[in-house]
Amino acid sequence: MRAAARTRTFSPRPSVRTPTAAPLSNRARAPYSTSAPSPNGSKFVYNVAASYIAKGRSYDPATHIFQFNPYNRVQPPRAGRGKASRPESGQDAFFVSRLGTAPGEVAFGVADGVGGWMDSGVDPADFSHAFCDYMAAAASTAETPATGGAAGQPPLTARQLMQKGYEAVCHDPSITAGGSTAVVGLLTAHGLLEVANLGDSGFVLLRLNGVHSASEPQTHAFNTPFQLSVVPPSMLLRAAAFGGARLMDQPRDAEVTRQRLRHGDVLVFASDGLWDNLFNQDVLRIVSGAMARAGAWTSSDDRGVQVAPDLRPYTGLGGDAAGGAGAPPTLQSVLATELVSAAKAASVNRKLDGPFAKEVKKYYPHEVWRGGKEDDICTIVVLVSEEEAPPKAKL
């Protein structure tokens, strides 16, 4: 069995920093059932965009953007796929895919390659990008929760999708070593969200100008996040002979949370490059500002914050699926790029302490540490829209 690799190590030198904990609130534990229709007969539509930038690279919101089109076919992973075909997200990777053949169902996730593998001459991006490729392929061919699986098989869950991706990476001859954290989400046509989170990537669910729910990072110790890994047998033998431990985290160790979504909700999934530099309230402030400017969220003294009844004027792709020249940006792409832009600016700010700096001071009170954390940043934003279902045609 291939075990997990040793985690990233902390050094008091400014070049190495650690993940921060995000507060957890209102986590739902309701049974995950996709068979119940929406109470008012409506359908849920998920408007998804991703933005990203590698550490040390200049960020361009016009090019470092991905707009999800559910009608695009997922290409199967190919062993040894060239690195030039990857998005410029460094060791971070992401995927967004249709979930099987059920209309409106979406699978998505973020994986953060463990940088400590570079000390062993391994590119951590190989693991994280292949991992996401395999999860996208598994999701697109899955028996969806809406059908309940074939021949009595259980429905695909977020943890099972993570398992499928991990097993595929372990059997990929081009991946000899490496590791990654992961946060994986499934969205059903009935407005249900399931998340499996392993490590220090994570998510927040924003609702009506508030943080409705947020994940907690999984860590073994300070700067030691849970992670999936492929460890060469030679490393395991050396560890057995000379001492030392290797983490053995598996998809079954991922924490699973479930939520029932509402019209106007905003989901933010991201690697620790965002969470180490922005507090949850920073994320809320950025999202609220963009939603208010667009008119998707409005507020009044007597009614509080309200969601626009129809979000389609803000979420339509306009032009082509990639947001071509001249096409107005979608609201979900504005949210994704503004979040990454803010995290990027905070990461190189040496005067304003972010979440990471506060964590360092918590565990190393005598350490002088200022500013943000420079890292790869990857964010997926989902804008939830509940639309009236079309009437069934009479036969």
Asked if residue 194 is part of any domain, the answer here is yes
Count of Cβ atoms closer than 10 Å to residue 366 Cβ: 6
CB 214 within 8 A of CB 266: no
pTM of the model: 0.85
Asked if residue 315 is part of any domain, the answer here is no
Asked if residue 183 is part of any domain, the answer here is yes
Asked if residue 32 is part of any domain, the answer here is no
Strands 304-307 and 297-300: antiparallel
pLDDT level of residue 348 (50, 70, 90 thresholds): very high
Asked if residue 139 is part of any domain, the answer here is yes
Asked if residue 289 is part of any domain, the answer here is no
pLDDT at 39: 52
Q: Which domain holds residue 137?
A: 42-273+375-388
**In CATH, what number is assigned to the domain containing residue 131?**
3.60.40.10
pLDDT level of residue 10 (50, 70, 90 thresholds): very low
Q: How far apart are CA 366 and CA 36, in angstroms?
A: 55
Question: What tens digit of pLDDT does each residue of 240-261 get?
Answer: 666 556 667 999 999 999 999 9
Place of tokens 């392993």: 198
Number of structural domains found in the chain:
1
Asked if residue 267 is part of any domain, the answer here is yes
Asked if residue 72 is part of any domain, the answer here is yes
Tell me: pLDDT of 174 over 90. yes
Q: How far from chain centre, in Å, is Cα 80?
A: 24
pLDDT at 377: 98
CB 106 within 8 A of CB 96: yes
